[in-house]
Amino acid sequence: MPTSFSTYDRFDAAALTIGLGLVLVGVAVIGFLETAFGSLHFTRSIDGVGVVVVHTSFTPHGRAYLVAVGLVVLFGWGSYRICRAIVA
């Protein structure tokens, strides 16, 4: 166990890389791809409703879950750091 808690070990680096990577991919990378490719939408005509979007290039639920998992990883890492400081 390191004597100084201001330094990061491998677990800290992995948690930050995974958490921030998921958030970055979910927000910036997929957002850029949707902007670059014109956000491909497939539509279908439904009786009584009109034309609705059936499919987008990236599902909004998938993006939201990707960002949420990244935030959960970051929250877990923050809780770990706080508990580690309290125990020490």
Mind listing the pLDDT tens digit for each residue in 40-88? Answer: 667 777 777 787 776 667 788 899 999 999 999 999 999 999 998 899 7
Dig out the tokens for 54 from the structure. Answer: 């059936």
Q: Is residue 39 part of a domain?
A: yes
Task: Tell me the CA distances in angstroms from 3 to 6, 7, 52, 80, one per residue in order.
Answer: 9, 9, 59, 16
Task: Say which DSSP state 25 is in.
Answer: I
Q: Is residue 3 part of a domain?
A: no
pLDDT digit string (tens) for 7-46?
Answer: 788 999 999 999 999 999 999 999 888 888 766 667 777 7
- Answer whether 9's CB lies under 8 Å from 80's CB: no
Give pLDDT, residue 66: 96
Q: Is residue 82 part of a domain?
A: yes
Number of domains making up the chain: 1
Task: Tell me the CA distances in angstroms from 15 to 24, 60, 62, one per residue in order.
Answer: 14, 24, 21
Q: How many CB atoms lie within 10 A of CB 39?
A: 13
Range of the domain at 77: 10-87
